[in-house]
Structure 1
Amino acid sequence: MTELRITPLTADNVVAANTLTLKPGQEAFVAPVSHSISEAYVNQDTMWPRVVEADGEVVGFIMATFDPDAEDELFRSTILRMNVSAEHQRQGVGAFAVNAVLTEALNRGFDRVIAVWEDGDLGPGRFFEAMGFKVVGETPYGEVIGERRIMQ
């Protein structure tokens, strides 16, 4: 299996991240990477945008937020977005990216990570549940809120 690597989003990989292609129908369940890039730029102190590389090729993108002082606990340690290229789905890329967020959260002293996703047959709900996230609620916009407890 190809060795995966997680790296910060940079000028060298932003175009590749922004051109990740999804499987037909998945676009409805995730915002374009360009939206994440803009959000990360505006909120540089709290956003954690990363790409997953396989053999030097960008095959995934994940963005989390880490803000222990956020008024809304939904945004203290949260996976906001994740995209895995269509040709690399079901090869461990998403799990690798989520595990990188879990490790980062632990390193920052958090005891849980929240994930927010759109519900639907082609959405990521089953993936997040398989990764140990338990559905704990819904946002005012109808998105699913999942929580995964983590311990040192």
Structure 2
Amino acid sequence: MAELRLEELSARTVIAANALTLKPGQEQFIAPVSYSAAAAVADPNTSWQRVVLDGDEVVGFIMGNFDPNAEHEEFKAILWRINVDADDQGRGIGTFAVRALADEARARGHQRLYVIWESGELGPEQFFLRSGFQPIGETQYGETIGALEL
């Protein structure tokens, strides 16, 4: 594995980011209902989108959102989406991306970074727990709200 690095999502990398694959069964966990509802009113100027590169190859994507005016606390600094290519999962790429997003949240003055996930056998819960997120509540749709203390 070459040294991982982040790069802003761009016209050059968006096609590769969209082509990232998932392991069978993971597709149902891509976007919890809470995210879809919030996305309808999300300001594109507050999003933080990066691809993770291993050398010149796009191996992951992460999107955070920083909105100090968000109605709900968990949407003020949130990990909105993370995807690591199926063939590259388990290599530390997701952890690298989460740490970068946490660093950005900290630099913006946030004390916590949030994430929302749906429970399920092939879902992201264990990854988020290993990344340091702790369950702190549930959404109105029964999804878990997790927080990472910064």
TM-score (structure 2 length as normaliser): 0.90
Residue 84 of structure 1 is matched in structure 2 by 84
Q: Deviations over 1:37-66 (max 9, x none)?
A: xx6xx7322111111010111100111100
Residue 57 of structure 1 is matched in structure 2 by 57
1:47 paired to 2:56 = no
Code of the aligned partner of 1:140? Q
Mind listing any 5+ residue stretches in structure 2 that lack a counterpart?
A: none
3-state SS, counterpart of residue 123 of structure 1: coil
TM-score (structure 1 length as normaliser): 0.89
Aligned length: 143
Q: Contact 1:117–1:143 at 8 Å: present in 2 too? A: yes
1:94 paired to 2:131 = no
Mind listing any 5+ residue stretches in structure 1 that lack a counterpart?
A: none
Q: 2:143 and 2:105 mapped to 1: Cα distance?
A: 22
Moved over 6 A (4+): none
Residue 9 of structure 1 is matched in structure 2 by 9
Q: 1:7 and 1:43 mapped to 2: Cα distance?
A: 21
Across the aligned residues of Structure 1 and Structure 2, the Cα RMSD in angstroms comes to 1.6
Q: 1:20 and 1:102 mapped to 2: Cα distance?
A: 23
Q: 2:95 and 2:139 mapped to 1: Cα distance?
A: 24
Q: 1:51 and 1:94 mapped to 2: Cα distance?
A: 11
